[in-house]
Amino acid sequence: MAFVIGILFMSATYLMLSKSLLRIIVGTGLLSHGAHLLILTMGGLKRGTVPLLDEKASAYTDPIPQALILTAIVISFGVTAFFLVLAYRSYQELGTDNMERLRGTEGND
């Protein structure tokens, strides 16, 4: 899994370094996927069954990383949604999505 996560991080970084705002947000999406998978992987994979007590199994997977990820997913969703609307608004107001053109002008920063 570590390699998969590495590749996710790599693509995310590459996208975030690009010029288009939308691609940067796609990059952040990939980055959060990578981070979530990383948490899951670090918790240990496949040691038992689903963390539901009804299963009556002898071993369960670690429930803590799952709880953490659930929190992280929701938060990153909130942030992503906010960013997207922010991007949408800036298209409307500024008429561009090119990051190189989105700069403070002299005396305006």
Partner 1 sequence: MSLLHLAIISPFLLAILVPILYKSFRQIHTGWFVLPLPILLFSYFLSFLSIQEPITKSVPWIPFLGIDFIAKIDGLSLLFALLITGIGSLVVLYSVYYLSKDKEKLNTFYVYLLLFMGAMLGVVLSDNLIVLYMFWEFTSFSSFLLIGYWYHKEKSRYGAQKSMIITVFGGLSMLGGIILLYIMTGSFNISEIMEIVPSISDHTLFIPALLCFLVGAFTKSAQFPFHIWLPDAMEAPTPVSAYLHSATMVKAGIYLVARMSPVFAAEGLWLWLVGGVGIITLFWGSFNAVKQTDLKAILAYSTISQLGMIMSLLGIGAAALHFEGIEKSVYAAAITAAVFHLINHATFKGSLFMVVGIVDHETGTRDIRKLGGLMNFMPITFTLAIIGTFSMAGLPPFNGFLSKEMFFAGMLRVLELDIFSFETWGLLFPVIAWLASVFTFLYSMILVFKTFTGKFQPEKLEKKPHEAPIGMLISPIILASLVIIFGLFPNILSNSMIAPAINAIMPGNAADVHISFWHGFTPELFMTIGVIATGILLYISLPKWRRVYDLFPKKLTLNRLYDGSLEFAQSISKKLTSGYMNGSIRTYLVYIFSFFIVILASTIAVKDAFKMDTSNISSIGFYEILLALAIVVASISILFAKSRLTSIILLGSVGYTVSLFFVLFRAPDLALTQLVIETISVALFLLCFYHLPKNSKNEERIRFKLTNLLISIGVGAIVTVIALSAHSNKMFDSIAQYYVENTYEKAAGKNMVNVILVDFRGFDTLFEITVLSIAALGIFTMIKLKMKGGRKNENK
Question: In the window 7-36, what residues touch partner 1 (CB under 8 A)?
Answer: 7-20, 22-23, 25-26, 29-30, 33-34, 36
The answer to whether 71 touches 60, Cβ cutoff 8 Å, is no
CA angle 65, 68, 74 (to 5 degrees): 140
Q: How far is the CB of 85 from partner 1 (least distance, A)?
A: 5
Site string (64-103) toward partner 1, x via CB under 8 A: x-xx-xxx-xxx-xxxxxx-xxxxxx-xxxxxxxxxx-xx
Kindly state the smallest distance separating residue 13's Cβ from partner 1, in Å: 4
Interaction between residue 56 and partner 1 (CB under 8 A): no
Beta pairing partners, 60: 49
- Positive or negative, the CA dihedral 78, 70, 34, 42 is positive
CB of 21 to partner 1, least distance (A): 9
* Under 8 Å between Cβ of 102 and 58: no
The count of residues interacting with partner 1 (CB under 8 A) is 85
Smallest separation (angstroms) from partner 1 to the CB of 56: 11
* 58 is a contact residue toward partner 1 (CB under 8 A): no
Contact between 97 and 20 under an 8 Å Cβ cutoff? The reply is yes
Phi, psi torsion values for 94, nearest 5 degrees: -105, -15
